[in-house]
Amino acid sequence: MISNVKNPFGKFNGNEAEYVLRALDTENPENKSFPWVQRFEEAFSKKVGATYAIAVNSGTSGLHAALYAAGVGAGDEVIQPATTVVMDAYVTYHLGAIPVFVDIDPDTWNIDAKKIEDKITKKTKAIIVVSLYGLPVDIDPIMAIAKKHNLIVVDDSAETVMSLYKGRIAGTSAHMGVFSFEKSKHMTSGSEGGMIVTNDEELAVRARKFAGIGYRGLTAAAGRTSLASSVYQDPDYERFDTIGLNYRMNAVTAAVGLAQFERIDHLVERRKAVGKMFLEAIDGCSWLKSQKVPSHSNHSYFTFGVLYLGAQHKNIPWKEFYSKYKESGGDGFYACWKNPYLEPSLRGKKMGNQVFELGLCPIAEDYQKKIMAFKTNYRDLGEARHKVDILSSLIDNIGRKG
């Protein structure tokens, strides 16, 4: 039996349960024909200011479809940052292309735009940028580079929903932006889900067709072209004009996503509030450095990342500090993912002019060993404050100055 009592600290305390039950009740004609996916796409595109939105079943699917739409194929090269999840490299690889890694900016931890042109060759087809941990990538210089070399830019904004860059929603200034609704993100569509946004009709059509099994009738906007039943029930009707995959979002997932998106401002502001608490906790600490937030951007704090310098300045190794925080009652924190090219699945391979081994991107490799990512998805800000105070006390006990 489903309770009607909403948990004030719960993640799904909006219209999620109501919408899911309606999406499941397909025997009711009103619910059977309700376009949940289309409504979610339309709400998302309107709020972020993009012309088109294509809902998919994961952020990874969205990246795959976006690169396909960009025309990436066998032998092409796709530039991407050395600090990110491995999926950006995987979708490149599965299209027969070569991931080309660029080192990060030491202040923002996002891809260093000044190092991109050195990696561009005649084979370069696209650039994937990643807005890391909720901080928008400085996209304008990268778009200028892309225009100069006739490249397509995909902004992996999986962790950066509703962040602002120069007054614009992050993810909307690239040729395509890809968002994730996996369960740990600012908002979720239940467990997995994603959204591609673009202002380019041709890119939208290509992405939607690839993610929709290649149906000929799919268009840039939500839904299909309207056909009389006598047309598509004809044995001579041809359905598919693109070789695609089934990356479509289903109605139940869209129902959860739509309900969550109705509360997105609240969900993001809550994470930003926790991020501010962490900033205050590390204030004056010389051996914990947060990402630098440029004046033209804000940070939506998917997580709160710090660069840990305590091994050098306090003679306390990363793992020892982790244990001290846990023993004090903290929740622990995450390490940064391995650099994609150093994961066992890619390590040691030679692709293009790069060998995937240590030394490829020195700053990213150094930071990977030092980054600490504290959780910000607390439902109760009181609990968040308690955990942050534990960190602050631990810093005081160790000493804030190096």
Hey, what amino acid is at 262? E
Burial (CB count within 10 angstroms: exposed 0-12, middle 13-18, buried 19+), residue 353: exposed
Contacts 24+ apart (CB under 8 A), 306-312: 306/278, 306/282, 306/371, 306/372, 306/374, 307/367, 307/370, 307/371, 307/372, 308/370, 308/371, 308/372, 309/370, 309/402, 310/398, 311/370, 312/287, 312/402
How far from 56 is each of 41, 79, 114, CA to CA, in Å? Answer: 10, 23, 33
User: What is the distance between the alpha carbons of residues 177 and 45, in angstroms, rounded to a whole number?
Assistant: 11
User: What is the distance between the alpha carbons of residues 110 and 191, in angstroms, rounded to a whole number?
Assistant: 26
Tokens of 218: 């799919």
Q: What are phi and psi of 39, to 5 degrees?
A: -65, -40
Residues 10 and 379 sit within 8 Å (Cβ to Cβ):
yes
User: What is the distance between the alpha carbons of residues 389 and 395, in angstroms, rounded to a whole number?
Assistant: 10
User: What is the distance between the alpha carbons of residues 372 and 310, in angstroms, rounded to a whole number?
Assistant: 11
Ordered DSSP codes for 190-203: SS--EEEEES-HHH
CA-nearest of 156, 371, 186, 399 to 274 is 186
Catalytic residue among 6, 47, 123, 185: 185
Check if 375 is active-site: no
Tokens of 234: 């004809």
Ordered DSSP codes for 124-150: EEEEEEE-GGGPPP-HHHHHHHHHHHT
User: What is the distance between the alpha carbons of residues 375 and 336, in angstroms, rounded to a whole number?
Assistant: 13
For the chain, report the end-to-end CA distance as a whole number of angstroms: 56
Catalytic residues: 185
